[in-house]
Amino acid sequence: MALVKGLRNQSNYYGWGAIVLHWLIALAIFGMYPLGLYIDSLTYYDPEYQIVPNWHKSIGILIAITLAIRLIWRAINPQPAPISTHSALIKLLSKLVHIGLYLLLMAVLVSGYLISTADGRAISVFNWFSVPALPELVENQEDVAGEIHFIVATSLISIAALHAIAALKHHFIDKDSTLRRMLGTKEDS
């Protein structure tokens, strides 16, 4: 087993650029969901009520920026070839799951933005910069976007968990290189 060399993807493995962006977003998804549930449990009088939601919003904006970088990186890098031992069905499911994860993540980010800016105030990202608000798009925008945000975030975390379980299945049961490719290791050449 050898470590991946280089930032860019190759024909049979991912480069460090794709690997780092993948794991940053994965960690953020698995961290933001419980943080969101915690925020939902806070009352106006909790000391964290003024702090934790701002962290959640700020991290959400940073995830949106990271996702944009990841999508650009994906567009300008060759994708490694699918693993030859995978069936056509597995290859199709893999493609559909990845598309679904991207779409759900975008929907979570947009709905979170619409919740956060429903009152017309910009989102301050850790006091580094602000993301301006759009005018209210629908009546009761905060409530409508909040319901969508919860449903889509729950769907996202569920599919991401299944994605992780499938990667572990490929690694421990199928013993193929699916997970190793995203861990930065490859077969010795």
Measured distance CA(164)–CA(171) in Å, rounded: 11
In this prediction, what percent of the chain has a pLDDT beyond 90? 80
Residue 172, number of CB atoms within 10 A of its CB: 9
Q: Is 70 exceeded by the pLDDT of residue 187?
A: no
Measured distance CA(19)–CA(33) in Å, rounded: 22
Q: Read off the pLDDT of residues 60-115 as tens digits, 9 standing for 90 and up.
A: 999 999 999 999 999 999 889 898 899 999 999 999 999 999 999 999 999 999 99
Provide the pLDDT for residue 50: 86
- Whether the Cβ atoms of residue 94 and residue 82 lie closer than 8 Å to each other: yes
Q: In the chain, which residue ranges form alpha helices assigned H by DSSP?
A: 16-41, 52-76, 88-116, 141-169, 178-183
- Whether the Cβ atoms of residue 49 and residue 42 lie closer than 8 Å to each other: yes
